[in-house]
Chains A and B, each alone.
Chain A
Amino acid sequence: MDLAFTPEEQKFAADVRAFVKANLPADVRDKVKNGKHLGRDDYMRWQQALGKKGWLVYTWPKKYGGPGFTPAERYIFENICAEEYAPGIIPFGTKMVGPVIYTFGSDEQKAKYLPAIRESTVWWCQGYSEPGSGSDLASLRTKAEKDGDHYIVNGSKTWNTMGHWADWIFCLVRTDSRTKPQEGISFLLIDMKTPGITVKPIIMMDGGHEVNEVFFDNVKVPLANLVGKENEGWTCAKFLLANERLGIAAVPQSKRGVEALKEIARAEQDNGRPLIENQGFAEKIADLEIQVTALEYTELRVLSQMAHGGQPGPEVSGLKIRGSEIQQRITELTMEAIGEYSAPYLPGLLWHGTNEAPVGPDYAHLAAPRYFNTRKTTIYGGSNEIQKGIISKMVLGL
């Protein structure tokens, strides 16, 4: 057991930092630093740079073109990227469908899909939730019926993140409605340009557009796009959910968030002194920092287990619960630090990158929308109630 990094690891850290400094576009860095919204192109430029270096799919094994990082290297990589204001990697290709394909897909599928995911030339999105199937995912009703060498897909998916930017979608669909809910589900890859697909925006409470409803109206999907066996898609779904919950704790981002919060608290005034000198507020930040550290060390413990051959188990749910609560708390305290100057709503500046001057300090107009928007973190990826249900059943045996 050793907390210190080896000389090799320290060298690796220096390499990562040098790479990020040299390859992260300056405008993208600025947007991340100032909490601005990123466009598709912003993500793509950075992800393609990582792809060239072979680091985009940093969690993949070497066999499938990953760098084969040790857990310590992963940790270093994620933290330095966050420290250097790199955007978060969009997980749908790299962390979700990619591992599903290399774990459950055929050799043809691996050859066809993995390179584009590694290089970020194709944008993926996820088709899981439906209007009637949120927490109860297995009750999904989007149907895929066989017709020769195609499936005909009908139904709708919702809470589809960034589907309006996506080239492909991976979907859970029902291929047998006579069995138990979990049993008749299949995992399909669908080209978003296929006729019959419509994407309709859902506007969030902060006024932003990041999620969609996706409608499937007699969409023809080749049978070759089925991953794993027919009616066994639930296995892929469970595998993917466990993976999703690990990254979702977003520790490096939260560490960065705490630093940004401190900077704001230094800039904001309270009775003529920096707000950070207000004891009550300083204690709230301290409390938050301690929570982030506790989460970080829990995640390190899980990673270390994985390094010794374990798989992420249900206890990963605990990381998601605390991680999402911490993300919310950061936005809450940031808004509290800014106070009444959180009130002005400037959608032009927020969403369209207009030249409108901010009201109050630069960071003020982002605070309330972020706080509102971040309420989603305890809901998506399996709500915290569902996560606790999983822990209570799988870990505690209740």
Chain B
Amino acid sequence: MDLSLSDEQKQLQDAAERFVRDKYTFENRRKIVATEKGFLPENWAQMAELGWLGMSFSEADGGYGGGPIETMIVMEQFGKGLVLEPFLPTVVLGGGMIASAGTAAQKEAQLAPMIEGKKQLAFAWLERQSRYNLADVSLKATKEGNGWSLSGHKGVVYNAPSADTVIVLARTSGGAREEKGLTLFLVDGKAKGLTRRDYPTQDALRASELTFDKVSVDTDAVLGTVDTAFPTVEEAVDRAIVALCAEATGCMDAINAATLEYIKTRKQFGVPIGKFQVLQHRMVDCFTNAQEARSMTLMASLKIDDKDAIVRRKAASRAKVQIGKSGKFCGQSAVQMHGGMGVTDELAVSHYFKRLTMIDLMFGNQQHHLTRYSAPCWTPSRSWRSPPSGPSATKWPARPSR
């Protein structure tokens, strides 16, 4: 057991910290938000040059053989700066699914240019009725000649406006919400029959509603095998959750630091407001929450490569619950302690708060993951401990279920 970073990992952390410090001052970020794409292509190119776009992929896939810890390190720094470049949809989700399910030809065509920074990706799974159920998919793909035809709707697809390829989760068989019968397709962002409605999100990212009207793709557009995409998707989403948690940890550090600074300098009643115990204790609670978030993110990052799928799922859900809870606490507290200034657009604090809020809603909120985590099939068997001692052997009747 060893929880310290290696020298290479420390260097990566330094580089990511430097990147954020140089490129993401609050005023710079405002300018980037206002650009057409909502991120800077030159920043993306620099990330490619620094090797960040390929670091988590195996050398066989053209990457640098890193893993979840490396992703955690950069995402945490991205959170500190509220970085806008589409690392999560392109690298973690898109790249992750292609690496795990793609053929050699698909990797060659999609992953290699992505690692070089020449191709961006988006992942379209959500539909109007899906809420947080990854299998609640009704967009239909039907066999058509030598390929497939896709029709239906996808919502809140992050980075779709800039994506060269959209990875689409479609139903090829089975009924509503059945895990079996789902297939992933690689669809060109400019495919005929695909229309986009682009919009910004609350936290200044870019996303789209996508309408598929008989979009035709070849057989080789299928990522993985037909009807069996669910495990690939679930694993990729769990990895994305862990990366999001790292980003949230960075957000929390930054928002806590800003709040601490504010309550040390803002004076009311003749003293810095940080002299009031009620604010001190709330600040301590923020600090504790961020610590716990960091602990859970670290644990999830260490376990997300586990061979056992249940271990992976639990690690992701556990961290997401913690991040939802801690992020809400730190965000709401930061706004409150900033007073009126906290609810304006003028200071960074509200921007961190909005990002933390949206992170909780992505891929299942706190409640959803608590339910997922407590699913009975996952709890350890009851045989682990010896039977209780004592004279009474009466079986106590079970409580009537509600």
Contacts and interface: CB of A to CB of B under 8 A. Distances in A.
A and B associate in one complex = yes
Interface of A: 129, 132-136, 139, 158-159, 202-205, 207, 211, 268-272, 275, 280-281, 284, 335-336, 339-346, 359-361, 368-369, 371-373, 375-376, 378-380, 383-385, 388
Given A204-B343, A336-B367, 13 more contacts: A135-B269, A136-B269, A205-B344, A205-B350, A271-B136, A272-B129, A272-B136, A280-B370, A335-B361, A342-B361, A343-B362, A344-B200, A359-B156
Contacts of A135: 268-269, 273, 339
Contacts of B258: none
B209 interface: yes
Would you call the interface of chain A mostly helix, strand, loop, or mixed? mixed
B201 A275 contact: no
A258 to B, nearest CB: 18
Contacts of B268: 133-136, 139
B276 A385 contact: yes
B156 A341 contact: yes
Contacts of B335: 375, 379
Contacts of B350: 205, 372
A379 B343 contact: yes
Contact of B199 (A284, A345, A371, A380): A345
A380 B343 CA distance: 11
Nearest to B127: A269
Contacts of B199: 344-346, 359
B278 interface: yes
B131 A268 contact: yes
A286 to B, nearest CB: 13
A339 B340 contact: no
A379 to B, nearest CB: 5
Contacts of B276: 385
A202 B344 contact: yes
Nearest to B201: A343
B8 interface: no
Interface string B333-364: 00110011011111000110110011001100
B207 A343 contact: yes
Contact of A340 (B126, B177, B340, B353): B126
B132 interface: yes
B374 to A, nearest CB: 10
Contacts of B367: 280-281, 284, 336
A204 B344 contact: yes
The 9 A-B pairs of least Cβ separation, nearest first, read: A205-B350, A136-B268, A269-B129, A203-B345, A343-B201, A368-B202, A376-B343, A136-B269, A375-B335
B275 interface: no
Contact of A207 (B131, B345, B370): B345
B343 to A, nearest CB: 5
B295 interface: no
Interface in B344-393: 344-346, 350-351, 353-354, 357-358, 361-362, 365, 367, 370-371
Of B131, B273, B336, B365, which is in contact with the most chain A CB atoms at under 10 Å from its CB? Answer: B131
Contacts of A375: 332, 335-336, 342-343, 353
B376 to A, nearest CB: 14
B343 A340 contact: no
A360 B357 contact: no
B128 interface: yes
Contacts of B215: none
A242 B292 CA distance: 41
B197 interface: yes
Contacts of A281: 367
B302 interface: no
A272 B202 contact: no
A360 B202 contact: no
A385 B269 CA distance: 13
A346 B276 CA distance: 40
A345 B343 contact: no
A343 B202 contact: yes
B155 A205 contact: no
Given A134-B268, A135-B268, A379 B342 contact: yes
B226 interface: no
Of A344, A371, A378, which is in contact with the most chain B CB atoms at under 10 Å from its CB? Answer: A344
B346 A383 contact: no
Contacts of A372: 202, 343, 350, 353-354, 357
Contacts of A271: 131, 133, 136, 177
B156 A344 contact: yes
A345 B199 CA distance: 7
A271 B371 CA distance: 13
Interface string B156-193: 10000000000000000000110000000000000000
A340 B362 contact: yes
B132 A339 contact: yes
A324 to B, nearest CB: 11
B299 interface: no
Contacts of B155: 340-341, 359-360
B279 interface: yes
A335 B177 CA distance: 24
A323 B200 CA distance: 32
Contacts of A369: 202
A159 B176 contact: no
A190 to B, nearest CB: 22
Nearest to B278: A385
B345 A378 contact: no
B70 to A, nearest CB: 27
Contacts of B201: 343-345
Nearest to B402: A279
A266 to B, nearest CB: 14
24 contacts: A132-B267, A134-B268, A135-B268, A139-B270, A203-B346, A205-B353, A205-B354, A207-B345, A269-B128, A272-B129, A340-B126, A340-B156, A340-B362, A341-B155, A343-B362, A345-B202, A361-B128, A368-B357, A371-B357, A372-B343, A376-B340, A376-B343, A385-B276, A388-B278
B336 A379 contact: yes
Interface string B270-302: 100100101100000000000000000000000
A160 B207 CA distance: 35
A255 B222 CA distance: 51
B356 to A, nearest CB: 11
Of A207, A343, A344, which is in contact with the most chain B CB atoms at under 10 Å from its CB? Answer: A343
B343 A373 contact: yes
Nearest to A137: B268
Nearest to B200: A345
A272 B344 contact: no
Interface string B122-140: 0000101111110010000
Contacts of A344: 156, 199-202, 207
Contacts of A343: 156, 201-203, 207, 358, 361-362
Contacts of B342: 375, 379
A253 B68 CA distance: 47
B320 to A, nearest CB: 14
A129 B340 contact: yes
B93 to A, nearest CB: 14
